[in-house]
Amino acid sequence: MLAGKPVLNHSGLPEFVFRVFTTIPEFQVLLFLLFLLLYLMIICGNTAIIWVVCTHSSLRTPMYFFLCNLSFLEICYTSVVVPLMLSNIFGAQTPIALAGCGAQMFFFVTLGSTDCFLLAVMAYDRYVAICHPLHYSLIMTPKLCIQMVLGSLGLALFLSLQLTTLIFTLPFCGHHREINHFLCDVPPVLRLACADTHVHQAVLYVVGILVLAVPFLLICVSYAFIASTILRMRSAEGRRRAFSTCSSHLTVVLLRYGCCSLVYLRPRSSSSEDEDRQIALVYTFVTPLLNPLIYTLRNKDVKGALRNALLNKAASDTS
C-alpha cells in the first residue's frame, strides 16, 4: 500500500472512500472534537425532549407528539452519518463496501424525507390549532396523529427504496471511487457512475420535488391561513403566543428546506461538489441541533416541564 493511499478492491465489488476534510493533523483534531461535541449535543438535546414529552402528562398533545417523533428522527438521522464520519476524519479513509454505501444512502434519504414530511404535518397541526381551535381535539385525534407519522415514514421508505435501488444498478468505474463528501449522498455517488445518468438525475429531481417542494408548498399555504387568523386576533397576548410558536417551526423549516433544495434541486451545471459538502454540514449538524434549542428556549411549556423535572431530580437526590 502506498503511503497515505487506501487500497481499493478492483477485483470484486467496488468500494468507496470519503475525501478527507484536511490533511493537517491539528485541524483534524479540532474538527473531530467540534463534530463530536455537536453530535453529543444533538443526542442529549433531542433525548431530553423525548424524555420530557413522554414523562409529563401536560405535554401529551398532538404538537408535542410530533415534536417527540421529530427529535427521534434527528437522533437516528445524525447517527447514520456522524459515527462513520468521525472514524474517517483523521485521513485513514477506511473503505466502505458497495452494500454499506447503499445502506447508508437508503437510511439517510428515508430519515431525511420523513423529517421533511413531518415538518409539513406539524404545520397542518398548527393550522388546525390556530384556525379551528374549537374543533382541534375532534380533528387531531390520537389515531390521526399516528396515521400521519406512519404515512410520512411509509412514503419516505417507498421513495428512498426506489431511488437507492435505481442508483446502485449503475456501474461504477474502478478509478473513480473517492466520494467528495462525508457520506454516501445521492449527488456525489451519481458523479462516480461510468454510465449515462440523465434518467437517474431526472428521478432525483422528481423525488426532490415530492420530498421538498410539495411539503414546503403545503407549509406555505398553512402559514398563510395561520397569519391571516393571527392578525385578526383581538388579544395581543394570543397573537404573541401564536407568533412565537409558529416562528420556531418556521425557523427549522426554512433552514431544512432551503439547504436541501440547494443540494437536490439545483441544476448540476451550477452545483459544486465542495459547496454541496459544506451545505450538507448544515442539515447534518445545525438543523438537528436547532430543533431542541428552538423548541426548549422558545417554548414556555417545555421549559417549565424541564425546570420541574430538574427540581424534582435535585430534591430526590438530596432526600
Question: pLDDT per residue over 142-179, tens digit each?
Answer: 999 999 999 999 999 999 999 999 999 888 876 547 88
Question: Once rounded to an integer, what is the mean pLDDT over residues 79-89?
Answer: 89
**DSSP run (H or E) holding 17:** strand 15-18
Rounded CA-CA distance 92/153 in Å is 35
Q: For 16-69, what is each residue's pLDDT tens digit?
A: 888 878 778 888 899 999 999 999 999 998 998 888 888 887 778 898 899 899
Q: SS3 of 18, please?
A: strand
Model-wide pTM > 0.75: yes
Residue 84's alpha-carbon distances to 106, 108, 154, in angstroms, are: 15, 13, 26
Q: Name the superfamily (CATH) of residues 96-300.
A: Rhodopsin 7-helix transmembrane proteins (1.20.1070.10)
**Strand pairing of 178-179 and 15-18?**
parallel
Per-residue pLDDT, 130: 87
Between residues 319 and 212, which one has the greater pLDDT? 212
Cβ(171)–Cβ(231) below 8 Å: no
Show the cell assigned to 120.
409539513
Show me where the domains of the chain are located: 96-300
Q: How far apart, in whole angstroms, are the C-alpha atoms of residue 286 and residue 295?
A: 14
Cβ atoms of residues 226 and 130 within 8 Å:
yes
Q: Residue 292 contacts by C-beta under 8 Å, 6 or more apart in sequence?
A: 42, 45, 46, 48, 49, 71
In this structure, how many other beta carbons lie within 10 angstroms of the beta carbon of residue 166? 14
Alpha helix (H) residue ranges in 168-197:
186-190
Q: Count how many residues are written for the chain.
A: 319
Nearest Cα neighbor of 153 from 54, 266, 73, 272 is 73
Task: Label residues 273-307 b or e (16+ Cβ within 10 Å = b).
Answer: eeebbebbebbbbebbbbbbebbbeebebbeebbe
Residue 141 has a CB neighbour count (10 Å cut-off) of 11
Q: pLDDT band at residue 113, thresholds of 50, 70 and 90?
A: very high
Instruction: Indicate the average pLDDT of the chain.
Output: 83
Spatial separation of the C-alpha atoms in residues 161 and 201, rounded to whole Å: 16
Asked if residue 171 lies in contact with residue 94, where contact means CB atoms within 8 angstroms, the answer is no
Say what the pLDDT of residue 149 is.
96
Query: Which of 87-96, 113-122, 178-187 has the least mean pLDDT?
Result: 87-96
**Residue owning grid cell 420530498:** 211
For residues 125 and 133, give the distance between their C-alpha atoms in angstroms, rounded to a whole number. 11
pLDDT for 143: 95
Q: How confident is the model at residue 2, as a pLDDT?
A: 40
